[in-house]
Structure 1
Amino acid sequence: MKNTLQNILLLIIVSISICNKLSGRNSYSFTQIGLRQGMPSYVNYVFEESNGVVWLDTSNGIIRYDGLELKHYFVPSLETGVSNQRIFQIVEDNERQLWFLTTNGVLLYSKQKDDFLPYYFENKQSMVAGAVCKTEDGLLFGVNNKLYKYSYKTKSLELFSEISNKADFSIKRMIFWDNNTLVCSNRNNKVILYDIKKNEIIKNPSLEKNNYSDLCVDNEGFLWVTDYNNGVKKIAKDGTLVSEYTPQNSTFSSELVLCMTLINDRIWVGTDGGGVNIINPKNGNIQVLKHESGNIHTLPVNTILNIHGSGNGNNIWLATTRGGLVNARLSYMITYSSVALGNNNGLSENTVLTLFQEADSDYIWIGTDGGGINRLDEKNNTIKHYPTTWGDKIVSICKYSSTELLVSIFSKGLFFFNKETGVKRSFKLTQDKLSDYIKYSRLSTNLYNETESSILLLTNPVVRYNIPTGKSEELINANPKIPLRMMCYIGRDSLYSYFYNTQTIFRIQKDGKHIHSVFHSDTTYFINSASIACNGVLWIVGRKGLYTFKNGELSQIKSSLFKEAKSVLCDERGRVWIGPDRNFSLIILQIRSLYCMVSLMACLKTNTCKNLNFYLIRNGFIWEESMAY
C-alpha cells in the first residue's frame, strides 16, 4: 500500500525514447571500480573484448576485469625482466586474437595459458609498434616510420610501406579516413595522410601545421582531431576546417583534451579536469558529463585519460587518473535518496509516501515521512526542500488552487500549502468528528481531485469537499457491512472513480452520493495493489499472485512469474506494469495480448527492495515508489 510508513526510496523509471524526445539528451548512470574493489586509482588505457572482458593498463600493470574479479598480470620486459611497460593500444583481430602494443614490444595473449607471449620479427627481434589498424585480411602496424602488415592467411608479418623518410616520425596513432587513406600522427603530434594503394603521402597543409594528437572519423566522413590545449576540430577531406569546439565558442568544458573516440554516432571527448564532452556531429550540440560535488548521479571523476565503447555501445568505459575505472551506461532510471537539507540533488528524507503532479506542470510534488514536502523539477532533475514542512509526514497531496495545494499530514490534519512561499495554513473542517478522525485514527487520510471543483477526502466516512463554496458532504456507503477503512485511488473511466482497500474495490460516480463495492474478498489483506486498464479490466495483485476482474468474474493469471507480485499499474499505452517482491524486475504485459509477457523492462543488480508501488503521471513517465527492507 502506498501509504504504509516504511522506508521508501523514490525511483524514477523513464522510457529512453520519451526522455530523448523531451530533453534531446541521454541520461547516464555511472559505476566506479576503484580502490575498494582493488583497482589502482590511475588507469591509463581500457579495452573491452568481444566477450565482455575488460583489459586495463594501470599504475600496477596489466589488469583483467570480468565484471566480478580483477586479475593482475606480471609481464616482465624481455631485456630487464622488470614489469614496467605501458600499453599504447589493444586490438582484437577478426580471429579473436588479442594484441597488446606496449613500450617493450607487441604481446599476444594466450587464452589457453592465460599468459602473454612476445611477438617477434622473423629475425627474432621484438617489435615496438605505436599503433595498429584492422583491415579485411589482417592488421596494419605502425612501427616507427614504417607500416607492417600481418596477414591472417599466412600468419606472418611483412614490411608494407615506409610512410615517411623522416627518422623522427614515430607513429603514435593511426586511423582509416576511408578505404585507401590512412591518417597517422606521431610523437610530436604531427599528422600526415597516407594513400596505402599508391604508397604515397597526401599533401594537406592544414593538418601539417597543427599539433594534433588523437584522431577520430565520424559516420559522415569528417576527420576529428584533438588539439591538446585548443579543444577539438572537425576537418573535411579537402582540409577545410568545418568547425572547432572550445570553451570560448561553445559549451565545451575544457581546452585540455586527452582522448577521443566515436561511440553510437557521437564523438566522446575526455578532458583534463572537464569531464566528458559528447558532441553530436550533425548539429554540434554538446552534452557535458561532469562531476558535481554532492551529486551522486554525476560523473565521479573529471580527468579522463581514455574512453572505450563496446561493439553495441551499451558499455562505455572511462580510464581516469585518481579515480580508477568508471563504467557509463544509458540510464533507464534515476534514483534519489536523502541528502543534507537544502541540497537540491536529493530528498530531504528517504521515505517517500506520496507523489503528485498537476497537469501541464514540470514539477512533481513529493510527500516524505518526516522530511516534509519536496518538489522535483523534471527539466533539470533538481529537488527543492521546504523548511516549513520539515518534521511533517506528508501522506497525500492534491490540487486546491493555482497557488495552493491541499496536503494531508499524518496525525496533524489537513493543510493548505503555498507553492511559491512554502507557507502552510490549517484547513478547517466544519465536522469536529471528522477532524478528530484524521488526527487520532492512526490511519492516513488520502486526497483525490475528483473534478476541478471538488476533492474527495478518503476518510471514514468519505467526504466530498466543494472548492468554490467551501462546503462538504458525506458520501453514503451503499453496503454498510463492507467497511471503507483506508482507501487508495486506483483510476477512473468516463463515469466512475475507483478506489481500493485491503479487501474491497469501490467506485464512486462523479457527483454521486453513494459508494458502491465492485469487488470484495472475505480474505483479510487480500489486495496488495490494484489498477484499472484502458479497456475497463481491473488488475489486482493479491496475496497469491496476479488477477483480473471483468464482468463480475475474478480470474487468476497462473504463472510462476507473478507469485510474488506486489504492485500493478496500467498505463495509457495499453501496458500493465508489475512489480515483483524479491528479484526487483519490472514485467510488462501488453493488454492487447492479455497474458503474453512481451518484455522484461529492467532488472536491478541489488536485491534491496521489498515492494514496488507505481503512479502514472503524464507524458508516459512511470514514477515508482519502492519499499526497502
Structure 2
Amino acid sequence: MVRCMEVSQEKGYVWIGTRSGIGRFDGYEQRRYLRGNVTHILEDEEHTIWAITEKGVFRYNEKEDKFTLVRDKDNNPVIASSLCLWEDGVIFGGRGSLYKYNYEDHIINLFHTLKPNGKYHISNLYQWDSRTLLATNRWAKALFIDIATGNTRPVPFNSEQIISLLIDKKGNVWVAHYNQGVSCYDRNGKQLQTYHTQNSPLKTNVVLSLEEHNGQIWMGTDGGGIHILNPQTGKISTLRYIPGDRYSLPANSILCLYNDKSDNMWAGSVRNGLINIKEVGMKTYQDVLPGQNYGLSEKTILSIYQDHDNQIWIGTDGGGINLFDPATGKFHHILSTWEEKVASITGMDKDHLLVSLFSQGLFIFHKETHRYQPLVIINDSINDILCHRGKTVNVYQNTPETILMLSEIPYKYHIGKKQFIPITKGKGITDIVGTLLPINSTGEDCYLHDLEHIYHINSSLNELELIFTCQTDTVFNSVSQDENGLLWIGSNHGLSYYNPGTKQYTLVPNTLINEISSLICDRQGRVWIGTEEKLFAYLIKEKKFILFGEPDGVVQNEYLEKPRLLSSSGDVYMGGVNGLLHINRHLPDEPALLPTLQLADILVGGERVYDRISNDHQLSVNEKSKPIIIKIITRDKDIFRKPMYRYTITGLNGQNIYSYLPEINLSSLPTGSYHIKAACSTRNGDWTADYDILTLTVLPPWYKSGWFILSCTLFIFISVILTFILILRNKETKLKWAMKEHEQQVYEEKVRFLINISHELRTPLTLIHAPLKQLMDKLTADNENYPLIQSICKQSERMKNILNTVLNVRKMEVGQSTLHIQSIQLDEWAEQLISDFKPEASVRGITLVYQPEPEIQTLCFDKEKCTTILTNLLINALKYTPDESTISISTRLSEDRTRVRISISDQGPGLKDVDTNNLFVRFYQGNNSRPGTGIGLSYSKILVEQHGGNIGAYDNKNFGSPGATFWFELPLNTEPGNITLHPQEYLNTLLAPTQETESIPEQQEENKTAQSHTLLIVDDNKDLTDYLATALKDRFKTIWVAADGEEALRLCREKRPHIVVSDIQMPHMNGYELCKQIKEDLEISHIPVILLTARNDEESQLYGYKNGADAYITKPFEVSMLYAIVCSQLHNRERMRTRYTDIGPLPPPEEGTFSSADEEFLNRLNQIITEHLDNEQLGIPFICNKIGISRASLYNKLKALTDMGANDYITKIRMERAIWLILHTELSVNDIADKTGFSTARYFSTVFKQHTRLLPYPIQRETACQHSITL
C-alpha cells in the first residue's frame, strides 16, 4: 500500500512511503529503509528527506545511507503526524503542538502549542497564506492555525470527514469528503461545484486522493480508478484497469496521487504498488486470451500486410492470421487459421489475400469467409520449388497485376493470367545467399535483397540485376528505402546506406548499435531500427540516434526482418518475437531539459564507502585487488528511461566506456589517480556534457608506497655506503696491520740490531774502560793528565750504563721481570745516593741540598730500580744546571697521604715552551739543544710506572724561581715482597719513531704544502701503494697509482703529474729505467722523480742520480719524511720558476733546470732567440719550426720550467739585451729597438717601461746604473 511519495529534486530518487517502510527507486533498483507505517514523506529546500511514522520524525543521512530518528534540544524524540514546507524551514504537526526545523541553525524545536485546541491531532498540514496553516483530521473539523501565535480558528467550508484536500493554483479548495464525492470551495468557503456519482461520470463517491496536473483535477478513487476533471468544461475522463489491456491503469484503487516538479504524474495504489502515468506514442501488442480484442493470438509476428481498406493483416507463428483495425485499435483473431504459421502475406485482389504457410505452400485466403484455397500451380517443377522444398516463400505484390514469389528461384505471378514467369539472374549473379526479401516497389521499379546483395528487377527483361554487394564479413539483415531513394541497410556492422544514383556506400558511425535485425523508413525522415532488445530512431537530417524504451511503450523485443509495415496513415508497425510494435506518426513532444548525472554510491569489495568521500568528491582506497563499483544517478524527467552511459576515466587509457547500466565496475586498477566522468545519451541522440563524478586515488600497497620505497632506497643506499665504508675500513685495517707488521718487523730489526750492537760494544768498551781505570788509579790527582783520563773514564762508565739499561729493558720484554720490594730507610738511601754526586757537583761549584720529610721513615720499593730513577734525574739536573748554583732534593707526603713525592729542583733554563706530556719521550728536548741520549728520562718513567707511581716535571718560573723541578711519586702502602711483571714492549717507548716528537729546526718551519699538486706513486706492492695513497690523499689535489714502470710512463704522458715517487725493483720496467725515460722525454723531462729502495749502498744511489733521480729514500721510511722530501722538491721547482717570472735576469739553463734534456732544450731555445733577436717575425711559429716542436708542447714545456709563455719568454730576453745595450753602448733608442726586434721605438718604450719601470733613454743610463737595472 503506497501511502505517500516524493521525487527528490537533487538526485531524482523516487521515495515511496508504505505501511511497511520506505522504498527508494532510482530507475533501476529499489532499496528499503525503516520499518513501520510511513504516512508522510517530504524533501525540503535543502534537499533533506523527512519521513513521518508512528515512532516519530525521521531524517535521511546520505553519508550513512539510513534514516535517523530526530530529537529536540532535550534529546527527546519528535513525535509528529504531519509536515509542511515553510519559507525558512519545515513545520511538523503533532497532537496539539507544532515543531519547526530552521534552515539557519538546523535545529528542530517546539514551535507552538495549539490554543485553545490543545489536543487536536493534526493529520495533514497545508500552507493557507504567509501567516496561516490549514490543519485537517478526518475525525475532527479542519482548523486554521496562526503561525505567529499558535491560535486556531474554524475554516469557512464544510470540513467534516475530510479524506483528501487540495488547494489548486487558483487558490480554490478541493475537498473529498468520505463517500460524498468531491466539492470545490473558494477562499471564502463558498461552494463552487460538487461532483458525485449522481451528477457526473464518477464510478464511486469514495475519493481517496486529489492532485492538480496541467490545470486538471485528478481524483484517485476506491475501486473506480482515476477520474480526470477539466474544471473549465466540467468534462471527466477515466483511467481504469481493463483486463487484457496492458496499457490500461494497472489498479482501480488509488490511495495517493503525486505531481512531481518535472510534471510527471504518479499514483500510489492500495495493492498494486506505485504507478507512473504517461502519454506515449507507441504501443506493443502481445498475446491475449482467445476472444479478447486487446492483443494478438500469438505474440511472435512473421508477416504483416495492409490492404486497400486500411485493414492490417498479421501473420503469426502458430496463431494464424489476426486482423487489426487502426481506427479502433482492436484485434480480431481468425480462429479458422489457428495454429497456422503464416510466413508471408500479401494482397491479391479486393477480396483475397495470398498467404505463404510454412511447410504447406501457397494459399488464397478469402477475407470474408476466412477460408483457405490452395494456389493452383500446374507446372510440377514450379509447384515443387514453391510448395514442397520446406523453404519459406516470401510473397510480395509489386504491381496490381503481379505478385513476386521469392524463393531459391524468384518468380513473377500474373494474377489475371495465372501465369508463372521465372526471373532470370543477370550478369554477375551466381547464387542467392539466403532468402530474397522485398525492399520497396514504386511502379515498375522493385528492389530486393539477400544476405549479401541488393538487386533490381528489370521488368521488361524479367531479369534480376545486381546493383550492390556487401563487404566480405558483412551480412544484410534488413533493407528499406526512404522517400529520397536511399537504400538504408541494417547489418551486423550497424547502420549504413546506399545511393543507387551515385552508387556510393556510406557507413553511419555510432557507438550505440552493434547489429541491426530490422529497420524501416517512415515519412518524417526517420529510420526505425530494431535490435535484439532495443528500438532506435535515426533522424536523417539531424544525423542523430534516439533510443526508445519501456517508458515510451516499447518492450524488449527481438525484431524480425520481414514483419515491417509503413501504413497508409504514416504509422509504423514492426513485428518481432515478443509482439507487434505500433509507432504513431505523431509522437508526443519530449521535454527539452537535459538529464544531469551525479555520484549515487560507491562500493569497494562490496562495502559501501560513500561516507569516506570528501566534499570535493575525492576518495582514496588501498584495496587494489578488490572490485570498485561506482554508481551514478540520472536526474531526468522520465526516471524510467534507460539511456546509454559513457564513462571517461582519465589516467587509465583515455578511452570511453559505454554501458546501459548506471554503474561502472573497476577491477584491479593500477596504483594512481583517476578522474572519472560520466555522460548519458539524450532522447534526441546527443550526449550530455561530461559530469565530474569522482576523483579516485588507488594507493599502492604498503610495500609499494612512497615511504616504503624511500625507506628501502635509503636502507639500500645506507647499506651500500656502510658496506663501502666497511670495505674501506677493512682495507684500511689490513693496511694498518700490514704497516704494523712492517713497523713491528722494523722494530724487531732495530731491537735485534741494538742488542747485538750492545753486546758487541761491551767487549771493546771493557777493553777501553778497564785500562783507563788502571791508568787513572796509577795517576795522582795532581797529574796534568788525571782530569782528562778521569773524564774519559767517566764517559765510558756512562756508556756502559746505557748499554746495561738497554739490555735490562730487553730482558723485561722477553721474560718475566721482578720487583724486589723491601722496606728501606728513605733518608739514608737518598743521602747516600746524593753523596755520590757531590764530588762531580763540587767541581762545578754546584751545591746539592737534601730536604727530607720528617714524617717519612721507611718506604717500600725496589732499591736497585729506584736508585736508577733518582740517578737519572740527578744526572739530568746536573746536565742543565749552570755552574755555581744549587740543586735541591726533597721528599714529602701527598695531600691524601697515600704517596711519597721525591723532587729534584735545579736552577737551569727551565721548561719554557716545553710540552711536559712529551718530556719523557725519547730525545724530546724542547728548545734546549744540549746533547744527551734521551733514554734516561724515558727509562725512568718505565721504572716508576712499574712501581705503580707517577713521574712528571714543571717549570719553576710558575712559582717565581728559575729552573725546573722533576719529581716522581711512589705509593706509601706497598707491602714488601716480590712483584712479578708481565713482559711488555718497553723498547717501543725507548725506540719509538722520533719524527713526530723531534724538534723541527726553525729554518724548516716554513709552511710547505702540496694541496694544488698531483702525485704519481709507482710500486708493484699494492699494499704499499694503497697505504701511501690513503695516507697522502688529503695532502694532494690528485694521486695516481701505477703498478710498474710502463704504466707509470703512460700516466706521466697522459696526466702530467707534478712529481713521481717510484720504487726501483718492479716488473716490465724498473725505477731506474722509468727515471731515465722521463728525463730523456722532452715533454715530461721537467717532472721530478724520487726513488725508493731497500738498498742503502752508495753505488745504488749514484746509479739513481746518474739516471736523473732528484731524490733517493731508503726503505723503511716514514710517511712524514716522504712528504717532507716531496714538498721540498716541489718548493724548489716553484722557487726556480719564480726566478724566471720575477724582475731580474734570466738564470742560466744549468741553474734553472733539473735534467739534461731540460737544460739542452733551454740552451737550444735561447740560442734561437738570441740569433734572431732583431727579427720582427720571431715568435711562436718561428721557434716551433726551428726546434721541431708543436705549439702545445712548447707552451707546456716552458710553463713547466719557467711558469711563462713563449711570447713572455722572448720579450724577457729582448728586454735583457736592451738593458745591456743601454748600459754598454751609445746607441739611440731607435737603434736599440731595431736590434731587439721591435717594429717601432714607441712600442719598444712601452714594453721597456712595463718591465723595468724606467724609460729607455740614454739620459737614464746613470739612473739605471745606480739602480742596477734588472728585469
Normalised by the length of structure 2, the TM-score is 0.41
Matched residue, 1:88: 39
Mapped pair 1:68 → 2:68: no
- Residues 283 and 444 (structure 1 numbering): CA distance in 2 closer, same or farther, change over 3 Å? farther
Matched residue, 1:21: none
Matched residue, 1:625: 575
Q: State the 1:204 CA deviation.
A: 6.4
Give the partner amino acid of 1:570. Answer: C
Q: 2:293 aligns with which of 322, 333, 344?
A: 344
Q: How many residues align?
A: 569
Summarize the alignment of residues 155-554 of structure 1 with structure 2, pairs less than 5 Å apart: 155-157=106-108, 165-167=116-118, 169-176=120-127, 182-188=133-139, 190-191=141-142, 205=156, 207-208=157-158, 210-237=160-187, 239-263=189-213, 266-314=216-264, 316=266, 318-321=268-271, 323-326=272-275, 331=280, 333-358=282-307, 361=310, 363-379=311-327, 381-429=329-377, 431=379, 433-452=381-400, 454-458=402-406, 460-466=409-415, 469=416, 471-472=418-419, 474=421, 476-477=423-424, 479=426, 482=429, 483=431, 486-493=435-442, 496-508=445-457, 513-521=462-470, 526-550=475-499, 551-554=502-505
Give the partner amino acid of 1:557. Answer: V
Q: State the 1:282 CA deviation.
A: 5.0
Deviations 1:566-602 (A, max 9, x none): 3332221112223344xx3333322224xx3243333
- Residues 407 and 308 (structure 1 numbering): CA distance in 2 closer, same or farther, change over 3 Å? same
Q: Is contact 2:3–2:268 with CA below 8 Å preserved after alignment? A: no
- Residues 512 and 290 (structure 1 numbering): CA distance in 2 closer, same or farther, change over 3 Å? farther
Give the % identical residues: 31
Matched residue, 2:92: 141
- Residues 444 and 281 (structure 1 numbering): CA distance in 2 closer, same or farther, change over 3 Å? farther
Higher relative contact order by CA 8 Å / sep ≥ 6: 1 or 2?
Answer: 1
Separation of aligned partners in 1, 2:437 and 2:185: 61
- Residues 521 and 115 (structure 1 numbering): CA distance in 2 closer, same or farther, change over 3 Å? closer
Matched residue, 1:8: none
Matched residue, 1:586: 535
- Residues 190 and 360 (structure 1 numbering): CA distance in 2 closer, same or farther, change over 3 Å? farther
Matched residue, 2:986: none
Matched residue, 1:100: 51
Separation of aligned partners in 2, 1:146 and 1:478: 91
Q: State the 1:138 CA deviation.
A: 1.8
Q: State the 1:430 CA deviation.
A: 5.6
Matched residue, 1:132: 83
- Residues 116 and 610 (structure 1 numbering): CA distance in 2 closer, same or farther, change over 3 Å? closer
SS of the residue 1:565 aligns to: coil
Q: Is contact 2:18–2:39 with CA below 8 Å preserved after alignment? A: no
Mapped pair 1:557 → 2:508: yes
The CA RMSD over aligned residues, in Å, is 3.9
Matched residue, 1:18: none
Separation of aligned partners in 1, 2:68 and 2:77: 11
Give the partner amino acid of 1:311. Answer: K
- Residues 408 and 186 (structure 1 numbering): CA distance in 2 closer, same or farther, change over 3 Å? same
- Residues 213 and 377 (structure 1 numbering): CA distance in 2 closer, same or farther, change over 3 Å? same
- Residues 511 and 422 (structure 1 numbering): CA distance in 2 closer, same or farther, change over 3 Å? farther
* Comparing 614-623 and 515-524, the one that deviates more: 515-524
Q: State the 1:390 CA deviation.
A: 1.0
Q: 2:548 aligns with which of 584, 596, 601?
A: 601
Matched residue, 1:15: none
- Residues 154 and 487 (structure 1 numbering): CA distance in 2 closer, same or farther, change over 3 Å? same
Give the partner amino acid of 1:394. Answer: V
Matched residue, 1:49: 8
Deviations 1:472-525 (A, max 9, x none): 462643617635674322224576232222233233478885543332358598
Deviations 1:345-379 (A, max 9, x none): 43222321012223563x43210122101123445
Q: Is contact 1:171–1:187 with CA below 8 Å preserved after alignment? A: no
Q: State the 1:202 CA deviation.
A: 8.7
- Residues 274 and 496 (structure 1 numbering): CA distance in 2 closer, same or farther, change over 3 Å? same
SS of the residue 1:370 aligns to: coil
Q: Is contact 1:503–1:524 with CA below 8 Å preserved after alignment? A: no
Q: State the 1:439 CA deviation.
A: 1.3
Q: Is contact 1:253–1:288 with CA below 8 Å preserved after alignment? A: no
Q: State the 1:99 CA deviation.
A: 1.7
Give the partner amino acid of 2:455. Answer: F
Give the partner amino acid of 1:626. Answer: G
Q: State the 1:215 CA deviation.
A: 1.7
Which structure's CA Rg is the greater one? 2
Q: State the 1:389 CA deviation.
A: 0.3
Separation of aligned partners in 1, 2:474 and 2:74: 81
Q: Is contact 1:388–1:424 with CA below 8 Å preserved after alignment? A: no
SS of the residue 1:171 aligns to: coil
Q: Is contact 1:232–1:244 with CA below 8 Å preserved after alignment? A: yes
Deviations 1:8-56 (A, max 9, x none): xxxxxxxxxxxxxxxxxxxxxxxxxxxxxxxxxx444444434344444
Deviations 1:57-88 (A, max 9, x none): 444444555542433435xxxxxxxxxx5333
- Residues 127 and 500 (structure 1 numbering): CA distance in 2 closer, same or farther, change over 3 Å? same
* Comparing 367-376 and 378-387, the one that deviates more: 378-387
Separation of aligned partners in 2, 1:183 and 1:359: 63
- Residues 281 and 598 (structure 1 numbering): CA distance in 2 closer, same or farther, change over 3 Å? farther
Q: State the 1:612 CA deviation.
A: 4.9
Separation of aligned partners in 2, 1:134 and 1:577: 46
- Residues 162 and 73 (structure 1 numbering): CA distance in 2 closer, same or farther, change over 3 Å? closer
Q: Is contact 2:17–2:23 with CA below 8 Å preserved after alignment? A: yes
Separation of aligned partners in 2, 1:378 and 1:247: 33
Separation of aligned partners in 2, 1:283 and 1:402: 45
Gaps of 5+ in 2: 579-1271
- Residues 123 and 586 (structure 1 numbering): CA distance in 2 closer, same or farther, change over 3 Å? same
Q: State the 1:530 CA deviation.
A: 0.8
Separation of aligned partners in 1, 2:49 and 2:187: 32
Q: State the 1:221 CA deviation.
A: 4.4
Gaps of 5+ in 1: 1-41, 75-84
The structure with the greater share of residues assigned to strand is: 1
Give the partner amino acid of 1:389. Answer: T
Give the partner amino acid of 1:217. Answer: I
Q: State the 1:449 CA deviation.
A: 3.5
- Residues 145 and 267 (structure 1 numbering): CA distance in 2 closer, same or farther, change over 3 Å? farther
Normalised by the length of structure 1, the TM-score is 0.77
Mapped pair 1:574 → 2:525: yes
- Residues 544 and 103 (structure 1 numbering): CA distance in 2 closer, same or farther, change over 3 Å? closer
Q: State the 1:388 CA deviation.
A: 0.5
- Residues 608 and 92 (structure 1 numbering): CA distance in 2 closer, same or farther, change over 3 Å? closer
